[in-house]
Amino acid sequence: MRVFIGFDPRPAEVQCYAVARSSIRRRSSTPVWTTGLVLSDLRQRGLYTRPTEMRDGRLFDVISNKPMSTEFAISRFLVPELCEHGWALFVDADVMARADLYELYREADPSKAVMVVKHDYTPSGTMKMDGQVQLPYERKNWSSVMLFNCDHPANRMLKAKYVNEMPGLWLHQFKWLLNDEIGALDPKWNHLVGEKEANPNAAIVHFTLGSPSLPGYEDCEFAQEWRHELDVWAA
């Protein structure tokens, strides 16, 4: 199994990355290869050339003229280019695995280009994380957990040149795919903490509004488990 985890160098995000990676590896019943999507590394390798700039202390995507809540907002779509074949999973940094991801891979449908939890919701607020803008859009949060079929012909479009040139919203709405090329995962594989009804059986929990290390989210659903996972990693 290959798992790509979004990486952002801000301290709170680094903690999130540590929890995501540790929780995935600790619960895996089979060998799992995990790596972070580090923007500086992708730029050095010539895979990420998309122009970004800081505006009022926030990272902006120049092509989309939109703020980026994390450094990996766009680089996630490079996963098929990085893998070339087989199945590969991308997850946001602010997730925690509570189940064996082998079970997620068992849901893979080879007729689909990508498999996601097809959330149908509008964000409850206008801000998230540490002051990041919460932008509503069609298919929001579908791209926060994506199981890519890197052999699917439709994903050949996701070459580095293409990913670096297309508007971010176009990518996050899966516009390079036909509707029937997007498979559906069980909602337990991307449970949105604070945005969906509590689910004690969630397999991947996603702290999309803010991780338990941030003010205001210390007592959110699964916060105690998240802190325990951080302690295990740090031990």
Radius of gyration of the chain, Cα coordinates, nearest whole angstrom: 17
| Tens-digit pLDDT string for the chain (235 aa) | 999 999 999 999 999 999 999 999 999 999 999 999 999 999 999 999 999 999 988 899 999 999 998 999 999 999 999 998 999 999 999 999 999 999 999 999 999 999 999 998 776 555 555 655 556 668 989 999 999 999 999 999 999 999 999 999 999 999 999 999 999 999 999 999 999 999 999 999 999 999 999 999 999 999 999 999 999 999 8
Predicted structure pTM score: 0.92
**Cα 168 from Cα 127, distance rounded (Å):** 19
Could you tell me the CATH number of the domain that includes residue 157?
3.90.550
**SS3 of 42, please?**
helix
Of 185, 158, 161, which is closest to residue 174 (Cα–Cα)?
Answer: 158
If one counts the domains in the chain, the total is 1
How many other CB atoms sit within 10 Å of the CB of residue 178?
9
Domain span including residue 24: 2-234
Of 48, 42, 32, which is closest to residue 97 (Cα–Cα)?
Answer: 32
